[in-house]
Structure 1
Amino acid sequence: MPRLALFAIDLVAVTILVFGLYFPRHRRRDLVVAYLGVNVGVLSVTGALSESSVGAGLGLGLFGVLSIIRLRSTEVDQREVAYYFSALALGILGPLNAGPFWLTPALMALILTVMYLGDHPRLFRSYRRQTLVLDSAITDHLALIAQLEGILGARVHSAVVERVDLVNETTIVDVRYSHASADRAIVAAGVRG
């Protein structure tokens, strides 16, 4: 497949990733620029290195180091890291013309499909994560779970205490929980459908 066609397929794929999947679901404008920039940058450098005597591994290693620095310099959650690496992978695949002509577009489609399904709003929609600051110092784990379930009106699956301040009477806890009412609504919709 001609290189320009592969570049065009990459640009279509990253457009779908950013404007079709990421932004409508998460609405974080600053990362739109990051995903587009990293994709086009990796696409350009990988394309240039694949035609030069310098090893592509060197260029990809440099981008790996830069991406780690970028990911550590701002707050991004795990979903955004997945989109970040998907944009990187699409940019790396773009200039590669290895194997049958259909392989690169198929791998790009696979990345988009996995991101569409893995980040679908209906997947595990009753499950949540939150960091709470409680106005009491709670050292008993069972009492903490009971209080969290009362506050959240949900079933607590995990509660990791990040800090207990006995002087100021506060507890900071990372909570993973689910709402039973959302689970019942999903089951009811499945029964009716």
Structure 2
Amino acid sequence: MNTLLPILFDLVAVSILTFGLYLPRHRRRDLVVSYLGVNIGVLAVAEAFTSTSITAGLGLGLFGVLSIIRLRSAELDQPEVAYYFVSLALGVLGGVPVSPMWLVPTLMAALLGALFIGDHNRLLTRYRSQRMTLDQAFTDESALIAHLQDLLAAKVHRVAVRRVDLVNDTTDVDVRFEVSDSPSASASSNGLFSRGVKS
């Protein structure tokens, strides 16, 4: 019975992670099967490791390599990377014996709590991040910042110029900005940017 409790804790935790936190916030259906599959896969192999001579360190190393390959093969934003690794961690916690028993649900709850708070839609709602292509070649940083602040109706905190094309008269930038509390600015920002590009 004691060996079944961590598995039960894991199944409950990954269900909360996937269907209670990730899917309502990010609405990306294709990653649901990834989170569930990775979690159950890690859980199953971790359980198998406990009944063989293979050490947990070797198993975690293998999953580290697999996770890096998986993350390099598709575009995931930073919150999705966090969900991905929490899914891995939940599987390991559910499959590897941990003593005392209460530590397993406590650590799982801590992981879920960290994602609940860190990815909450009320946390730092005024701060955004966006990759943009401007129809003007800017070589002066102050002019670029002034143009972005006027365009976004927001305070620009950081600008990283990725490319200036003087032939086609364009500028590619990564901009981090803070929208104002005014209704017009908030409406404009909500129309242009999704919650997924918030930083």
TM over 0.5: yes
Counterpart contact for 2:127–2:178, Cα < 8 Å: yes
**Which residue identity lines up with residue 115 of structure 1 in the other structure?**
L
- The equivalent residue for 1:127 is 127
- Unmatched segments (≥5 aa) in structure 2: 187-199
- Identity of counterpart residues, as a percentage? 60
Distance in structure 1 (CA, Å) of the matches to 2:91 and 2:182: 38
- The equivalent residue for 1:116 is 116
Distance in structure 1 (CA, Å) of the matches to 2:130 and 2:162: 12
Distance in structure 1 (CA, Å) of the matches to 2:6 and 2:150: 54
Distance in structure 1 (CA, Å) of the matches to 2:15 and 2:142: 48
- The equivalent residue for 1:172 is 172
- The equivalent residue for 1:58 is 58
- The equivalent residue for 2:14 is 14
Q: TM-score, normalised by structure 2?
A: 0.89
Residue 182 of structure 1: how far off its partner (Å): 6.5
Residue 98 of structure 1: how far off its partner (Å): 2.2
Q: Does residue 162 of structure 2 align to residue 162 of structure 1?
A: yes
RMSD over equivalenced CA pairs, Å: 1.4
**Which residue identity lines up with residue 122 of structure 1 in the other structure?**
R
Q: Does residue 111 of structure 2 align to residue 99 of structure 1?
A: no
Q: 1:89 to 1:145 in 2, by over 3 A?
A: same
Distance in structure 1 (CA, Å) of the matches to 2:14 and 2:80: 14
Distance in structure 1 (CA, Å) of the matches to 2:87 and 2:38: 7
CA deviations over 1:26-76 (Å, ceiling 9, x no partner): 001111111111100000000100111111211211111010000001000
Counterpart contact for 1:126–1:182, Cα < 8 Å: no
Tell me the SS of whatever aligns to 2:176.
strand
Counterpart contact for 2:50–2:97, Cα < 8 Å: no
Equivalences, count: 184
